[in-house]
Amino acid sequence: MLVFWKARLVLLAVPKTGTSAYETALGPHASISVLDPPELKHAPVYRYNRFFRPMFEKMGVEHMELMAVVREPVSWLGSWYRYRQRDFLDGKPTSTRGLSFDQFVEAYTRGERPPYANVGSQAKFVEPRPNGTEVSHLFKYENQAAITAFLEERLGLSLDLPRENVSPRADLALSAELEARLRRKCAADFELWERAR
């Protein structure tokens, strides 16, 4: 999570949406960079609302605008699948080594997900709170030009995004049957991505 105090903007770090690249490029310009622990770095709207919003209000700022980037859901799951193939996870319950992408997605669509497929939901991450705390600026990961233009204008800087935290390549072919099941079970994630700019 990056906080730009003067611009009254908070960039939420939705996992697997290029957040490491934004941290590298924008970290020096941020008033607050929350990098650890992961539960705060990747604080969803509900956690921002509970911990950060009250602190900012005590500092005299009634409203910070929230920005988030979301990725097309199949691509997002593909990124998680590839990330969890990395050597440092080998032998751990969160590793996807030895699994096909179909097996990973099938596990993700279950009611009770095994550790390797327990990666959350983008729709849940940005879910508005009853008190009105919500994401004001929602962008598609695939529309990097719009994200860059918005940040450059809002923060008054020139942005050059590096490639960071790139996962190994892998076959991400998904059967039509599983994709249909994913779209049915995770409709909110697909609707969220369609709604983003």
User: 20-42: per-residue pLDDT in tens?
Assistant: 899 999 999 999 999 999 999 99
Is the CB of residue 90 less than 8 Å from the CB of residue 48?
Answer: no
Q: Which residues pair with 192 in a beta bridge?
A: none
Long-range contacts from 170-174, C-beta under 8 angstroms, 24+ separation: 170/78, 170/81, 170/82, 170/85, 170/101, 171/100, 171/101, 172/74, 172/78, 172/81, 172/82, 172/101, 173/101, 173/102, 174/74, 174/101, 174/102, 174/105
Q: Which segment of 7-11, 27-31, 76-80, 171-175 scores lowest on mean pLDDT?
A: 171-175
Range 101-115 average pLDDT = 96
Instruction: Decide if 194 is inside a domain.
Output: no
Instruction: Decide if 177 is inside a domain.
Output: yes
Q: Is pLDDT above 80 for 5?
A: yes
Instruction: Decide if 163 is inside a domain.
Output: yes
So what's the pLDDT on residue 2?
A: 98
Instruction: Decide if 156 is inside a domain.
Output: yes
Q: Is pLDDT above 80 for 170?
A: no
CA-to-CA distance for 125 and 16, rounded, in angstroms? 12
Task: Estimate to the nearest angstrom the gap between the alpha carbon of 85 and the chain centroid.
Answer: 19
Instruction: Decide if 193 is inside a domain.
Output: no
Please, which residues have CB within 8 angstroms of residue 171's CB and are 6 or more apart in sequence? 100, 101
Please, which residues have CB within 8 angstroms of residue 186's CB and are 6 or more apart in sequence? 73, 109, 121, 123
For 128, other C-beta atoms within 10 Å of its C-beta total 13
* pLDDT tier for residue 167 given thresholds of 50, 70 and 90: low
pLDDT digits (tens, 9 = 90+) for 116-166: 999 999 999 999 999 999 999 999 999 999 999 999 999 999 998 877 666
So what's the pLDDT on residue 168?
A: 63
Q: Is the pTM of this model over 0.85?
A: yes
Total structural domains within the chain: 1
Phi/psi at 116 (nearest 5 deg)? -70, -20
Domain that holds residue 16: 2-188
pLDDT over 90, % of the chain: 89
Q: Is pLDDT above 70 for 109?
A: yes
> Measuring CA to CA, which residue among 64, 90, 51, 65 is closest to residue 168?
90
Instruction: Decide if 42 is inside a domain.
Output: yes
So what's the pLDDT on residue 62?
A: 84
CATH classification at residue 145: 3.40.50
E strand spans, 5-134: 9-11, 32-33, 65-70
Is the CB of residue 136 less than 8 Å from the CB of residue 68?
Answer: no
Range 31-60 average pLDDT = 96
pLDDT digits (tens, 9 = 90+) for 86-97: 999 999 999 999
pLDDT over 70, % of the chain: 97
User: How are beta strands 135-140 and 32-33 bridged, if at all?
Assistant: unpaired
User: How are beta strands 9-11 and 2-4 bridged, if at all?
Assistant: antiparallel
User: Which has more confidence, 163 or 58?
Assistant: 58
